[in-house]
Structure 1
Amino acid sequence: MSNDELHWQPASLPTRKTLEGRFITLEKLDAARHGDGLWTALEGPNSDPKLWDYLPYGPFDQRDEFNAWLTRHAADTDPWFYAIVDQATGAVEGVVSLMSIVPAHGRIEIGHVTFSAAMQRTPKGTETIYLLAREAFALGYRRLEWKCNGDNARSKRAADRFGFSYEGTFRQHMVVKGKNRNTAWYSILDSEWPDLQKAFEGWLGEGNFADGQQVKGLEAFRG
């Protein structure tokens, strides 16, 4: 983009509306309504033992500690947390947020990605990112960010798969759980979103799944 003057209007803040997909819905996080399901999904016997490795909190040994964490984040406006609800079963299977929200400059980030074991390697995770990206650009943002620990191979692979562009690594950016964190930065720009949106929608379409398995990978829809 050139340095020419932009006819720029600040973006809007996220709202409490539910984001509807084919596989999941994203509901504004409510600790009372979503707490039991999230406790089972994230800390129950079938939970992912690596889930909390790169998050700045967790795991939680006590339910009251977990409840306090949920209550705090449900009240936050930045990050703005959603509960991820399975469309077919109504089960609550994770949380995610829009965060680092800067409407004046049109910048917003997807963060706190906490997918239960039941969501992983299913269309539900991809649809979650699609719904958040679609909402971010519909609200008028011009830059959608993804940041993760430089050692978090799963998150970096996900960013690449979703179509985020790698921008570099901030060395010694943070201290998390007493350890150094180098932070990898990725982004999608509003000019890039229309083509990426088509790719997401093609991948998520009914015709791309047979017996619950994808026919073509997401990258294939980007040409």
Structure 2
Amino acid sequence: MTTRLNDFDQPVGAALPDWSGARLPDAPSLQGRYCRLERLSAERHAAGLYAAYRDAQDARDWTYLPSGPYDTPEAYHAWLLNAEKQPDPRHYAVIDLTTGQPVGTVALMRIDVANGVIEVGYVTYSPRMQRTRLATEVMALFLRYVFDELGYRRFEWKCDALNAPSCAAAARFGFTFEGIFRQAIVTRGRNRDTAWYSIIDSEYPALRAAFEQWLAPSNFDANGVQQHKLAQLIAKSRSVCVKASG
């Protein structure tokens, strides 16, 4: 990469003469093949989500989240009432298109339109969608939305550095690990070191192709077992893009 120098012979970043900022996420829904993301509504989603979360055998899925679990439907409904009003985080319910029922929630947050940076967070998936095609399609829908439609330059994933499943998910989805912010926040009365991951816009085309291949019905046999892993498809797609650019 050629180093760009200013008038004082100091190295500076690449010029962005056409940059005018990204757009706020305002779509009421995002439609996929297996799921639909709907702006969160306590009235429409609270009862179904509470029932879906109650399928879990214990409360371990809430350990690294900032709130929950909720012992009563009323307590969860109250939390959703507050969450649905927030412009940031902007929460979405995940609707299983097979059943028509909500099975999890996720949010776009830390929305920085001036710099084109946005984060996925509050990933709260019930057992009904964990390790299913829906969980992967949620990420594919968000990636397409923030890069193709809204014009963001950077998509972030952050989690407790001790949350091994979340770190593994970020890697599987193609995020690049950037480091750990030590003693970043205090949550639930304990320290949290935060692991940072990101995808930038130049990396997205390779990821888009890999997600499309993985989510295609032809990638699953009659029993629903994947024929190719997402990580393998991402590596192959990235290799093709590198060769094409070379």
Q: Counterparts of 1:114 and 1:187 in 2: how far apart (Å)? A: 20
Contact 2:21 2:113 in 1 (8 A): yes
The answer to whether 1:164 aligns with 2:175 is yes
Cα offsets for 1:114-137 (capped at 9, x unmatched): 010111111110001111111111
Find 2:88's aligned residue among 78, 92, 97: 78
In structure 1, the partner of 2:136 is 126
The answer to whether 1:106 aligns with 2:128 is no
Could you say if the C-alpha distance between residues 118 and 156 of structure 1 is closer, same or farther in structure 2, counting changes exceeding 3 Å? Answer: same
In structure 2, the partner of 1:151 is 162
Contact 2:119 2:156 in 1 (8 A): yes
How far has the Cα of 1:5 moved from its partner?
Answer: 2.2
How far has the Cα of 1:88 moved from its partner?
Answer: 0.9
The answer to whether 1:51 aligns with 2:61 is yes
Q: SS of the counterpart of 1:109?
A: strand
Q: Normalization by structure 1: what TM-score?
A: 0.96
Gap regions ≥5 residues in structure 2: 5-12, 237-246
Q: Counterparts of 2:19 and 2:29 in 1: how far apart (Å)? A: 27
Identity %: 48
How far has the Cα of 1:46 moved from its partner?
Answer: 4.1
Contact 2:47 2:73 in 1 (8 A): no
Cα offsets for 1:44-78 (capped at 9, x unmatched): 24466311010010111122221111011111110
In structure 1, the partner of 2:231 is 219
Find 2:43's aligned residue among 11, 19, 32: 32
Aligned-residue CA RMSD in angstroms? 1.3
How far has the Cα of 1:220 moved from its partner?
Answer: 1.2
Amino acid at match of 2:138: T
Amino acid at match of 2:215: L
Cα offsets for 1:73-128 (capped at 9, x unmatched): 11111001100000111011000000000000000000000010111111110001
Give the alignment of 1:62-73 within 5 angstroms.
Answer: 62-73=72-83
* Higher mean displacement: 183-192 or 33-42: 33-42
Based on CA coordinates, which of the two structures has the bigger radius of gyration? 2
Q: SS of the counterpart of 2:61?
A: coil
Q: Counterparts of 2:125 and 2:225 in 1: how far apart (Å)? A: 19
Q: Counterparts of 1:45 and 1:168 in 2: how far apart (Å)? A: 34
Q: Counterparts of 1:48 and 1:207 in 2: how far apart (Å)? A: 35
Could you say if the C-alpha distance between residues 45 and 195 of structure 1 is closer, same or farther in structure 2, counting changes exceeding 3 Å? Answer: closer
Q: Counterparts of 1:19 and 1:48 in 2: how far apart (Å)? A: 31
Gap regions ≥5 residues in structure 1: none
